[in-house]
Each structure stands twice: as C-alpha cells, then as structure tokens.
Chains A and B, each alone.
Chain A
Amino acid sequence: MKVALAINLITAGLLLLSFFKSSRKTLIALKMSLQKGANLMPWMIGIIVLIGMMLSFVPEQTVERYLGGEMTLIQVGGAALLGTITMIPSLIAVPLAGSLIEAGASYTTIAAFLTTLIMVGFVTLPLEIKELGIKITFWRNLLAFIFAIIIAGMIGVLM
C-alpha cells in the first residue's frame, strides 16, 4: 500500500512538473493515457473476474490435497501445473504454503507451486499475447515453467 501511495505521489509530482514545462505535451500524454486505459480496462476487469472465479472453483482443500503429503516426481509436476493454471494472490498462497509445510509437505513441492504461481500466468496469457506477441509470451512462460521445476529441485537439495 505504501509503495502504491508513493507511486501515486511521484506520478502526481511528475505530472505537475510536466505541465509547467509544456502543457501541450502533457495534454498529449494524458490523452494517450486515457486511450490506453480505455483499451486495457476490459482486459483488467476480465482477468480479475476470472481470477476470482477460478479461486472459488479451486478451493484450498484441492490445493491441500495436491500439495500435501509425501513428495513424488508426479506431485512436483502437479504442483507446478497447479501454480501455472491458478492465480492466487501471494497473501493467500504463501500462508497456505506455510501451513502445508507444517503439515508435512515438502519444500520442493511448495517451491514448484509458488514459483510457477508468480512467474507463469495462464489466465493472463491473452493479454500477454496481445501486448508482447505470441513468441515472447510462449518462450517466457515455457522457460519460467522449466526453471520453476529446476528451482524446486535445487531447493529440495539445499534444504
């Protein structure tokens, strides 16, 4: 929240500065912002609604069932997949992961889940493709998935 506030204040300051330097340029900039905002708003709303709906149909119990207990290779892969398709805010996901560790889940599985959760976005793919193109999106997400599994394996060895 503090960061968000700081960003807003800095933006307001820069906007003011820009206005003093050139009101014409600033108006062009604001028009551009407005246009972009109107263009992107439906995407943002769509993503937020999808995230909310997905979370309600992938409840905590499901996550617990898939991530808890004995570690197997399949479980680690499953955890990475679960992290890929779901989008759970980290303020919910990390405490949940903590309680799973306490209940006996392995660090490897949890690392696979958390890393794909933050780095790979399934729900947001359409927006990422729209903004960055299909190739960057494909490789970025695929590589992030592979590296998430490598990271998980290494955490398993290190801890």
Chain B
Amino acid sequence: MKQESIAGNLKKLAIFLALTAVILILMRYLFPEQSALSLEVMRDYSKEVALIFPPVLVLMGLADVWIPEDMVKQYLGKTSGWRGILLSLFLGTLPTGPLFIAFPIASEMLKKGARIANVVVFLGAWASLKMPQIGVEIQFLGLEFAFYRAGLTFIAVICIALITDKLLKRSEISWGKILKE
C-alpha cells in the first residue's frame, strides 16, 4: 500500500516534470526576454530548495520516530504558554530557505499536538525574522528601517499567532490530513 503510494507519486512527479518542461520551452520560444529572468530566478530557488529540502525531509522523518508526541505536547502544546511561543520563535529563525518549505514541518507540528499559536509563530519567524534577511535590509535600507521592520514584525508575528489561536478551535481544522482529532 505504502509502496504503491511512492510509485504513484513518482508517476505524478514524472508527468509534472514533463509538463513543466513543455511550459518552459514554450516560454523560451514565445517570450525569450522574460524567459531569461525567470529561468535565473527559478535556478536560484531550485538551488535553495535542493540544498535545504532533503535535510528537512530527513529531519522530519527522524523527528517522527524519535521525538515522542508527549514531548511535543509538553513543549509546544496547549499548556506550553510563553515558553512554547519563545521556543517556536527560536525554531523558526534557525533554518534557511523559502517559507513554503516550512509548511510541511508546521503541519507535522500540528499533527503531533502543537498549539496553533506556536505553529503560526514558527511560520512567521521563518518568513520574516531571519538574520540573513535582516542583514540584507540593513545593507540596502539602513539600520533604522531594518530595526523598526524587524521589531514591529516580531510583535506582529506574536499578535497574529495569538489571534489565529483564539479564532480557531483545534476541532475546526478538519481539512485534508488534519482529521486526526
């Protein structure tokens, strides 16, 4: 059953790659100028994803077999409070790479019993509170702007997380795979 799903996914992946190739070739032919810029951006993103996605996948697998759910619940669950928020903030600033790599991780955290607020803080920190990002901002927009932007975003990330948490009860997240509870 599980083997089949890998094979099925690989088949889907192959079809998808073929389709992507066709689109890219068409673009190159129809819009040669734009195509050069998009290819450059795609290459940059691909490089980043290729570097960071495999270890993230392996870490997720390892976390799944080694970190017991009770531990996730204890440190990131409903009763984790401000400690949980701070831990999620810290976890979010550690890695690198685009935000969409963080979605599967966040999903895994949720499934293991992490509090919604913590998951949203994790995503917010991942998106906007990374040292390299802030460094580039200091360089091009000045220390003052970067400082205010990061400081205000820090507050906003926590506000967004707490509001989202208040608005949603866990039982309401019945979508896709998150049907477990």
Decide whether A and B assemble into one complex.
yes
Q: Interface range on chain A: under 10, 10 to 19, 20 to 34, or 35 or more?
A: 35 or more
Q: Tell me if A63 is interfacial: C-beta within 8 Å of chain B.
A: no
In the assembly, what is the distance between CA of A118 and CA of B134, in Å?
A: 12
Give chain A's interface residues, CB within 8 Å of chain B. 1, 3-5, 7-8, 10-12, 14-15, 18, 25-26, 28-49, 51-53, 55-57, 59, 89-92, 94-95, 97-98, 101, 107, 110-111, 114-115, 118-119, 121, 124, 127-136, 139-140, 143-144, 147-148, 150-151, 154-155, 158-159
Residue contacts A-B, CB under 8 angstroms, 9 given = A8-B55, A25-B66, A35-B2, A36-B60, A38-B10, A59-B34, A143-B164, A144-B160, A154-B148
Pick the residue among B64, B124, B136 that contacts A29 (CB under 8 A).
Answer: B64
User: Which residue in chain B gives the minimum CB-CB distance to A41?
Assistant: B13
- Is A95's CB under 8 angstroms from B140's CB? yes
CA distance A39 to B176 in the complex (A): 14
Chain A contacts for B91, CB-based, 8 A: none
Stretch of B15-23, B68-76, B81-89 on the interface side: B15-23
In the assembly, what is the distance between CA of A150 and CA of B35, in Å?
A: 36
A-B Cβ contacts below 8 A, count: 238
Contacts A36-B61, A57-B34 given; does A136 touch B41 at CB 8 Å: no
B5 touches A35 (CB 8 A): yes
* Interface residues in chain B, defined as those with a beta carbon under 8 Å from any beta carbon in chain A: 2, 5-6, 9-10, 12-13, 16-17, 20, 23-24, 27, 31, 34-35, 37-39, 41-42, 44-46, 48-49, 51-62, 64-66, 95-97, 99-101, 103-104, 106-107, 110, 116, 119-120, 123-124, 127-128, 132-133, 136-137, 139-141, 144-145, 148-149, 152-153, 156, 159-160, 163-164, 167-168, 172-176, 178
Residues of the A chain whose Cβ atoms lie less than 8 Å from the Cβ of B106? 131-132
Tell me which residues across on chain B come within 8 A of A25, comparing CB atoms: 65-66
Name the contact of A136 in the complex, choosing from B35, B39, B51, B120 (C-beta under 8 A): B120
Kindly list chain B residues whose C-beta atoms are within 8 Å of the C-beta of A43: 100
Bound form: Cα–Cα A136–B120 in Å:
8
Residue of B nearest to A32 (CB): B61
